[in-house]
Amino acid sequence: MTSDRSSDLESHDWDARVDAVWASASDREEREVIAEVEALIAERAGDEPKVLFERAGVLDFAGREAEAAPLYEAALAAGLDDDRRSRAVIQLASTLRNLGRHDEAIELLEGEYPPDSTHERASIAHAFRALALVSADRPVEGAALALETLAGLLPEYGRAVRYYAGELRSPE
């Protein structure tokens, strides 16, 4: 039992260290972030779902989307905790869009975050779906989705914005 508790603490510490690197990534040199995440990845078994996810994330961060996509898929197939799963779906969809696989990105996000989703990351997912729709030559649908999502966040005029977004979807 002590070893299980020790393992849980080590895993939590590793997670916290990874989160700290990503939290500071925008203020640091790209190569530093990549090196630090790769060093943390090297501490764990390479087939752990969260390690696959972090490896995909660092490849994505480095602009190596073609290498990242199969790792995101493997991490999702291997089973991630809820937080990482939601991030992996969004990050994979963004990667697929960047690879020109727009319809796959849209389908992935629609399946995971339908329009009535109450998941805490639903708005983020809708933003990436809107981008994928624009990339798929469906800009009006993308704009409507973005506006509908935004309408739910507006303290004023949300109803009007939602109405106009609906008009975009079905003019006349």
Please name the CATH architecture into which domain 2-102 falls: Alpha Horseshoe (1.25)
Amino acid at site 114: P
Tokens coding 2: 């002590």
Model confidence pLDDT, tens digit, residues 38-91: 999 999 988 899 999 999 999 999 999 999 999 999 999 999 999 999 999 999
| Domain parsing of the chain, residue ranges | 2-102
Q: How far apart are CA 52 and CA 50, in angstroms?
A: 5
Which pTM value belongs to this model? 0.88
